[in-house]
Amino acid sequence: AAGVIQSPRHLIKEKRETATLKCYPIPRHDTVYWYQQGPGQDPQFLISFYEKMQSDKGSIPDRFSAQQFSDYHSELNMSSLELGDSALYFCASSLGSEQYFGPGTRLTVT
Amino acid sequence: AQKITQTQPGMFVQEKEAVTLDCTYDTSDPSYGLFWYKQPSSGEMIFLIYQGSYDQQNATEGRYSLNFQKARKSANLVISASQLGDSAMYFCAMREGDAGGTSYGKLTFGQGTILTVHP
């Protein structure tokens, strides 16, 4: 069965640089979520989209923005990166009750 | 206030035995969903099982079952016949505002429990 695809899987950036994370949801899933998981932490919700419209927003910094495109893929744009942005970033998608996560993008900011 | 509480930072179990991972939750919403995910050391988040607040029966998926006690606000995960590959971090999560099988809400996670299966 198709799963959520995230790219890149690993990303190393320097402070103050920008990063773009991509997510391709499971086909026909209409909702996409982004979560951030810091080292030793539980995942924290950032933002979600339903049918290409932002549906909810969590503790997402103003330096971050996201959108969902007409083909349902989503991108998380992160600017002015800080050391504290180093984390595992998950995209998840759902159609109904169950929410499936992608493999994550591990971002390291040096 | 913490919405999802997992009180066991770490659990140990012998291979082939059953183990229960605890999860309690707090919500005033009558409609909610409860999830369990497994996160191996490789980092991916694997969906295991889902229970809706209106479901009459406890959810089961293969060796996983969810012991749902609504009055106690607990949703413990039971893993039967543990395998070495079950060693991982396990997260309990809740989504508020579930609406009978179709819902688009964010998940709130507990702190996780590290399960170690001994041979």
Predicted pLDDT of residue B99: 56
Selecting from B44, B104, B108 the residue whose C-beta is nearest the C-beta of A94 gives B104
- From A18's Cα to the closest Cα of chain B, the distance in A is 23
Selecting from A42, A103, A106 the residue whose C-beta is nearest the C-beta of B111 gives A42
Q: What percent of chain A has pLDDT over 90?
A: 85
DSSP chain B: --SEE---SEEEEETTS-EEE--EE----S-EEEEEEEE-TT---EEEEEEETT-SS--EETTEEEEEETTTTEEEEEE-S--GGG-EEEEEEEEES--TT---PPPEE---EEEEEE-
* Per-residue model confidence as pLDDT tens digits over B61-117: 999 999 999 999 999 999 999 999 999 999 999 998 765 545 568 999 999 999 999
Which residues in chain A have Cβ-Cβ distances shorter than 8 Å to B64?
none
Choose among B118, B111, B117: nearest CA to B6.
B111
* Per-residue model confidence as pLDDT tens digits over B96-106: 876 554 556 89
**CB–CB contacts below 8 A, A to B:** 62
Cα(A77)–Cα(A19) distance, rounded to whole angstroms?
6
DSSP A27-58: TT--EEEEEEE-TTS--EEEEEEETTEEEEE-
Tokens 């809706």 belong to which residue?
B52
Q: Which tokens belong to A63?
A: 């330096």
Selecting from A55, A98, A102 the residue whose C-beta is nearest the C-beta of B104 gives A55
